[in-house]
Amino acid sequence: MMDKKWNTTEAMATPNDAKKVFRKLGTCSRTFTYLLNREFGYPNEADERAADSLAGGIMQKGYQCGMLWGSALAVGAEAYRRFDDLDLAMRVSMKATQNIMKSFVQRENTANCREITHCDFSSRLSFARYFFSGRFLHCFNLAEQWAPEAIRSALECLSAEEALAQDKLSNRTTINCASEVAKRMGASEEQQVMVAGFAGGLGLSGNACGALSAAIWMKSLAWGRDNDKKSSFKNPDATFIVGAFDEFTNSRILCSELSGKNFSSIEEHSEFIENGGCERLMERLVGSSQMATE
């Protein structure tokens, strides 16, 4: 069932302070969670701070840009607020993430941090080159230029018309890897919808594992509650989960490799998870998150 709040965001002002916010908050992922949350009228400092750990393409590993992960979290939160039906909210969250990714790739010709920054953040020399060459300025300019596009792309899938189209497709329970991992880690329904867009390698794109990113964000959220005001960037609990994931997968991280699938639809992904796809990997993520707490 849809709620009645449809026209509040359509009249929002275009953000023109993304560079300033980026400099203040420090990471691309947190910046875009904050920017979209602010535009939707629901800032959430704890959720935004937990997004720090997804910066640099997931803990600086160079995969999907943190701007995408952060945007997906915020649009998922808005989808949850707009729709009473949990399955429909997840479906809209996933479609909106796909739309956001399409917009981003059209601008940058890639979704991956390393291809945008030309930097391997695990290398001090590469990072020094990134900084002293001025390449980091490209990220600030990208944030400023793309922020309005990200919001427009999100709104296209959060509209009443799009939701009605999704509702017609929603004749089965929507299950996805990211929300399922978050649920097993104790996520609220809102948090499950927030990470839904991560599924299938972020917007079903087959890139770096969305279930891993959901586990990282959930653990960073918990870590943040015990470490008030500290950035979750490379927090030890998230680092532990990444290490356990790499050990289990032999350092493979692409969804398309881990699942052996290139998902063409939300329905196909739901069926895959419903039939036990990636079950052992999801169990390992949940188990490693529990071990990180001990």
Any domain includes 27: yes
At 1 the pLDDT is 40
pLDDT, residue 135, reads 87
Q: Among residues of the chain, what percentage have pLDDT more than 70?
A: 90
- Reported confidence tier of residue 111, pLDDT bands at 50, 70, 90: very high
Q: Please indicate, yes or no, if residue 114 is contained in any of the structural domains.
A: yes
Task: Report yes or no on 283 lying in a domain.
Answer: yes
Q: Is position 161 within any domain?
A: yes
Extract the tokens encoding 293.
Answer: 């707490």
189 domain residue, yes or no: yes
pLDDT band at 163 (very low <50, low <70, confident <90, very high): low
At 134 the pLDDT is 87
Tell me the residue range of the domain where 236 lies. 18-293
- Report which residue type is found at 242: V
11 by DSSP, 3-state: which?
Answer: coil
Query: The tokens of 48 are what?
Result: 């935004």
Helix then strand then coil, in percent of the chain rounded to 5, is 65, 0, 30
Could you tell me if residue 10 is inside a domain?
no
Whether residue 9 is contained in a domain is answered as: no
pLDDT above 80 for 48? yes
Is it the case that residue 12 has pLDDT exceeding 70? no
271 pLDDT exceeds 90? yes
Mean pLDDT, range 132-159, rounded to an integer:
93
DSSP string, 99-163: HHHHHHHHHHS--BHHHHH---TT-HHHHHHHHHTTTHHHHHHHHHHHHHHHHHHHHHHHSHHHH
Number of domains in the chain: 1
Does residue 12 sit within a domain?
no
Residue 228 pLDDT > 90? no
pLDDT band at 178 (very low <50, low <70, confident <90, very high): very high
> Which percentage of the chain shows pLDDT scores above 90?
80
